[in-house]
Amino acid sequence: MTAPNDLAAYWMPFTANRQFKAAPRLFAGASGMHYRMTDGRQILDGTAGLWCVNAGHCRPEIAAAIAAQARELDYATAFQMGHPAAFTLAARLARLAPGDLDHVFYVNSGSEAVETALKIALAYHHARGDSRRVRLIGRERGYHGVNFGGMAVGGIGNNRKQFGPGLGAVDHLPHTHDLSRNAFSRGQPDWGAHLADDLLRLIALHDASTIAAVIVEPMAGSTGVLVPPKGYLERLREICDAHGILLIFDEVITGFGRLGASFAAERFGVIPDLMTAAKGLTNAAVPMGAVFARAHVHDALMTGPDAAIELFHGYTYSGHPLACAAAHATLDIYEKEDLFARAARIEPHFEAAVHRLDDGKNVVDVRNIGIAAGIEFAQRDGRPGVRAYDVFLKCLDMGLLTRQAGDVIALSPPLIASEAEIDTMAGILAEAAATVA
Ligand code: PXG
């Protein structure tokens, strides 16, 4: 494919549009661990697309399943009608999810999954006659997508400041990252579990009777791989249980093997009441997200007359046949190649490789868990993100796609990455860092 010569019409998301269009970077194709740029260059994918292509690019089995489905049943309305693959997929996902996260509500993105989980939490309390519980608690540096609910519980200033007051009844826990305490940790840091106790402060302030749910990413991805301190998630679970508050894990990034287990909930042995997923669910081949609900949450809403709609919520494309086909084919690959276990097996190699950057130029932190790492750089002249952006560009020049998040370069390759490819990524990153002022 050749590059287009008019870039004006496309308003790009989360992009410096004018800077990009002055020096565009366009993908033309992809296969396995690599992208191909429009100029023909092969780029090693250090980010699994955007944390989503967990089984590698353009898997023929997924492409074939999508094509076959498009010929057989292109679309089926999901309201008061259904199609078999939506049910078989939900049953399969329920078996995969830990604990009794046994009910699956389909959406089309991570943002929609978050909105849906927040609404289910409110509807759950409403159904139990506890409709004073409307407050939603997120966390600083949390990312829960870009819609109004997710933006409100999210903790990224830039994502909020242009868009007015949004939801009123929200508050935020502090994030768990402190360079003076947990820099250069491998896996879960020892310091920081006590930060979960801040939830008690918010309960004292607002009263538990007004709080519907707490939502956190078990590992915060977008703001630069913030790994939960040992005991932190367990403590959140305990406090929520003691106060009748639902716990929501946003597993849009951590789901489907990123942490060497089906979900972070499985890895950490902490089962939330609601869990969001997207991205790796279809290996990103077709947009799809899902919310998993535990039995008690689901069952609380299955009341009233049989003919009554229990949850006034859903999307035209909920459970889209093409997405269901892609998800089935993706799960087949995950199973056949035992990819989640493979991720767990290569985690020590990945950890050792990224920590070779510990004494890299301007590096102030390297942290990792599963197949995810954040390499944080000192700010240049107090200007956030500028140096890391230069490192990102330099890596791309050298044939590696990374993701820049503020002062952090995140690495999260597909789970099929070989040890040699992981070493190449760490090597390029170190060399790029060394050449950037
Ligand atoms: N929750 C989490 C935890 C996410 O990581 C979303 C919700 C929203 O998903 P959608 O599909 O609506 O984009 C995400 C998305 C980055 C980056 O740079 C990460 C995401 C999106 C864009 C950039 O790390 N994650």
- CB of 221 within 6 A of ligand 1: the answer is yes
User: What are the structure tokens assigned to 146, written together?
Assistant: 């870009």
Q: Are 311 and 301 in contact (CB under 8 A)?
A: yes
Q: Which residues pair with 173 in a beta bridge?
A: 139
Residues 6+ apart with CB under 8 A from 91: none
Q: What separation in Å is there between the alpha carbon of 146 and the centre of ligand 1?
A: 8
Residues 6+ apart with CB under 8 A from 27: 35, 36, 37, 38, 43
Q: Give the mean pLDDT of the chain.
A: 97
What distance in Å separates the CA atoms of residue 376 and residue 359, rounded to the nearest whole number? 12
pLDDT at 2: 58
Q: Are 417 and 46 in contact (CB under 8 A)?
A: no
Query: Taking residues 27-52, what's their average pLDDT?
Result: 98
Residue tagged 């890596």 (tokens): 395
Task: Say if residue 128's pLDDT is above 70.
Answer: yes
Task: Say if residue 307's pLDDT is above 70.
Answer: yes
What distance in Å separates the CA atoms of residue 15 and residue 37, rounded to the nearest whole number? 18
SS3 content of the chain, % helix, strand, coil (to 5): 40, 15, 40
Q: What separation in Å is there between the alpha carbon of 253 and the centre of ligand 1?
A: 7
Q: Which residues pair with 289 in a beta bridge?
A: 107
Q: Which CATH number fits domain 64-336: 3.10.290.10, 3.40.640.10, 3.60.20.10, 3.40.630.40?
A: 3.40.640.10
pLDDT at 251: 98
- Name residue 404's amino acid: Q
pLDDT at 61: 98
- CB of 266 within 6 A of ligand 1: the answer is no
The residue contributing the CA closest to ligand 1 atom 16 is 222
Q: What separation in Å is there between the alpha carbon of 417 and the centre of ligand 1?
A: 22
Q: E strands along 56-139, which residues?
A: 103-107, 135-139
Task: Say if residue 34's pLDDT is above 90.
Answer: yes
What percentage of the chain has pLDDT greater than the value 90? 98
Q: What letter would DSSP give residue 378?
A: P
The residue contributing the CA closest to ligand 1 atom 10 is 110
Q: pLDDT tens digit string along 158-182?
A: 999 999 888 989 999 999 999 999 9
What distance in Å separates the CA atoms of residue 45 and residue 342, rounded to the nearest whole number? 18
Q: What separation in Å is there between the alpha carbon of 258 and the centre of ligand 1?
A: 14
- CB of 370 within 6 A of ligand 1: the answer is no
Q: What separation in Å is there between the alpha carbon of 427 and the centre of ligand 1?
A: 27
Q: E strands along 108-210, which residues?
A: 135-139, 170-173
Instruction: Give the CATH class of 17-55+338-435.
Output: alpha beta
pLDDT at 372: 98
Helices 321-336 and 339-354: angle between axes, nearest 10 degrees: 70
Task: Say if residue 227's pLDDT is above 80.
Answer: yes
Query: Taking residues 233-241, what's their average pLDDT?
Result: 98
- CB of 217 within 6 A of ligand 1: the answer is yes
- CB of 108 within 6 A of ligand 1: the answer is no
The residue contributing the CA closest to ligand 1 atom 20 is 222
pLDDT at 166: 86
- CB of 222 within 6 A of ligand 1: the answer is yes
Q: pLDDT tens digit string along 281-300?
A: 999 999 999 999 999 999 99
- CB of 350 within 6 A of ligand 1: the answer is no
Residues carrying CATH 3.90.1150.10, the chain: 17-55+338-435
Q: pLDDT tens digit string along 365-400?
A: 999 999 999 999 999 999 999 999 999 999 999 999
Residues carrying CATH 3.40.640.10, the chain: 64-336
Q: Which one of 116, 253, 263, 389 would you pick to mutate in the ligand 1 pocket, going by the greatest count of ligand atoms within 8 A of its CB?
A: 253
Query: Taking residues 353-364, what's their average pLDDT?
Result: 98
